[in-house]
């Protein structure tokens, strides 16, 4: 793999000979993650914000190899669930550096966070509902907290990720000062947090910065009205990468300047949480063609990957670039590529020009690092794929392929009816 660090890595920039060898050795469908690219993306982003505290948003990709790579690169980790806290700690993160952003947290998540905070007072819990803070207090937690704000401005690649204007996320803007005055008596109120959306590119940047400016204004108001000296203001992540071949990558240095201008003078540390930007173009999926069907409406290309492997096209109508690794120089032909699931949603593209696929060709589905394996599932009782990491000239399996035994284990290990009766 190339170790250069251009602003974007296209699917055609990968070493096709190496990809073919990996598919032959490890079978398909197969996730391939380039850990050098993960580190380079983080370092490029951090360099564009030299005065900010840059964390990695673990929800984009919680693979242990990815987390270890980012911890080695100097990143701290932001988590959105108990499992992410546990995985970050398992990868070597210091619990005192973690930030937990609780969204309608289940009891078990808050139990874990309260217990973790009692042992590690550096943990910060961010709440987006008054209930969350009341539930924390009921568990005896009185440590570091931040308030998640709903700025009323959402940005991003799809309405389902425009969190900045979704009532599910954060305290209404006009209620934050009053809540801050209350929380400062009950906890160690250290910060404010907002996340405007995901997949922000050039067209969304002005709205994104406008929302950042609103949050910064509110931070100054909180300090003026309550006397709380905020340690940080967290402006979230959401910075995108170009999935389509004709989209230009963000110039993160220019983005850094725009963000600093939007924030203005602020007597608090700026925090940022890139997730997608760090991992999206560092991973792809390899899949084999098993069917080519000519119909009056379309040429349908069937592959062994499916929406169980990558659900984003079905869930968000997301575009992922696709390349024919076996024969990149063949004539382009408009084809529809889909998997083996019994639903019309199991389609990766429709009438897209691709070097004409034939049975047993290897295709690469690019930009699969963000919310790819994280959303993989077992629909149709399909075992989840293996994941291979590339680092320098070395490759290693970092997630083995599931078997049918893995798929059915939780049923076979469930308590028998008699055991269930005894437990009741």
Q: Which residues are designated catalytic?
A: 342
Task: Choose among 307, 38, 276, 10: nearest CA to 161.
Answer: 276
Give the whole-angstrom CA distance, residue 114 versus residue 78. 16
Q: Annotation-wise, does 90 bind a ligand?
A: no
> With contact defined as beta carbons under 8 Å apart, do 364 and 374 qualify?
no
Give the whole-angstrom CA distance, residue 88 versus residue 384. 22
Distance, CA of 224 to chain centre: 35
> With contact defined as beta carbons under 8 Å apart, do 212 and 262 qualify?
yes
Q: Annotation-wise, does 371 bind a ligand?
A: yes
Q: Annotation-wise, does 220 bind a ligand?
A: no
Q: Annotation-wise, does 302 bind a ligand?
A: no
Give the whole-angstrom CA distance, residue 381 versus residue 408. 9
Q: Annotation-wise, does 135 bind a ligand?
A: no
SS3 296: coil
> With contact defined as beta carbons under 8 Å apart, do 287 and 366 qualify?
no
Q: Annotation-wise, does 400 bind a ligand?
A: no
> With contact defined as beta carbons under 8 Å apart, do 289 and 370 qualify?
no
SS3 396: strand
**Is it true that the peptide bond before 29 is cis, omega within 30 degrees of 0?**
yes
Count CB neighbours of 52 within 10 A. 20
Burial of 296 (0-12, 13-18, 19+ CB in 10 A): exposed
Give the whole-angstrom CA distance, residue 360 versus residue 325. 11
Side-chain-facing half-sphere of 83: CA atoms under 13 Å = 7
How is residue 301 written in tokens? 């290309």
Q: Annotation-wise, does 273 bind a ligand?
A: yes
Q: Residue positions in the annotated binding site for substrate?
A: 276, 312, 371
User: Binding-site residues, please?
Assistant: 238, 273-276, 312, 371
Pick out the residues of the known binding site for pyridoxal 5'-phosphate: 238, 273-276, 371
């Amino acid at each position: 793999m190339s170790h250069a660090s251009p602003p974007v890595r296209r699917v055609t920039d990968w070493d096709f000979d190496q990809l073919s060898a990996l598919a032959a050795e490890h079978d398909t469908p197969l996730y391939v993650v380039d850990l050098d690219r993960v580190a380079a993306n983080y370092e490029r982003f951090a360099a564009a914000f030299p005065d900010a505290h840059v964390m990695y948003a673990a929800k984009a990709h919680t693979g242990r190899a990815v987390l270890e790579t980012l911890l080695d690169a100097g990143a701290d980790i932001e988590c959105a669930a108990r499992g992410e806290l546990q995985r970050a700690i398992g990868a070597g993160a210091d619990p005192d550096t973690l930030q937990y952003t609780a969204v309608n947290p289940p009891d078990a998540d808050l139990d874990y966070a309260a217990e973790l905070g009692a042992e590690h007072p550096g943990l910060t819990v961010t709440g987006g509902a008054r209930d969350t803070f009341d539930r924390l207090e009921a568990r005896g937690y009185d440590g570091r907290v931040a308030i998640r704000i709903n700025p009323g401005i959402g940005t991003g690649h799809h309405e389902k990720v425009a969190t900045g204007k979704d009532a599910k996320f954060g305290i209404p803007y006009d209620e934050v000062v009053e809540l801050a005055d209350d929380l400062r008596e009950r906890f160690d109120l250290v910060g404010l947090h907002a996340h405007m959306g995901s997949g922000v590119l050039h067209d969304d940047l002005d709205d994104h910065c406008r929302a950042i400016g609103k949050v910064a204004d509110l931070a100054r108001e909180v300090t003026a009205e309550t006397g709380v000296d905020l340690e940080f203001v967290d402006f979230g992540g959401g910075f995108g990468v170009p999935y389509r071949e004709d989209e230009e990558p963000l110039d993160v240095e220019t983005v850094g300047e725009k963000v600093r201008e939007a924030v203005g003078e602020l007597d608090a540390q700026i925090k940022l949480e890139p997730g997608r930007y760090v991992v999206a173009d560092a991973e792809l999926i390899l899949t084999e063609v098993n069917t080519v069907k000519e119909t009056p409406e379309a040429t349908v290309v069937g592959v062994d990957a499916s929406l169980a492997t990558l659900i984003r096209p079905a869930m968000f109508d997301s575009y992922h670039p696709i390349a024919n690794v076996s024969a990149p120089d063949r004539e382009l032909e408009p084809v529809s590529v889909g998997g083996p699931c019994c639903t019309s949603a199991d389609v990766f593209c429709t009438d897209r020009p691709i070097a004409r696929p034939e049975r047993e060709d290897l295709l690469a589905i690019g930009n699969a690092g963000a919310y790819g394996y994280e959303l993989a599932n077992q629909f149709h009782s399909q075992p989840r794929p293996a994941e291979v990491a590339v680092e320098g000239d070395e490759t290693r399996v970092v997630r083995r392929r599931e078997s049918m035994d893995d798929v059915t284990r939780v049923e076979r290990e469930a308590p028998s009816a008699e055991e269930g009766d005894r437990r009741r």
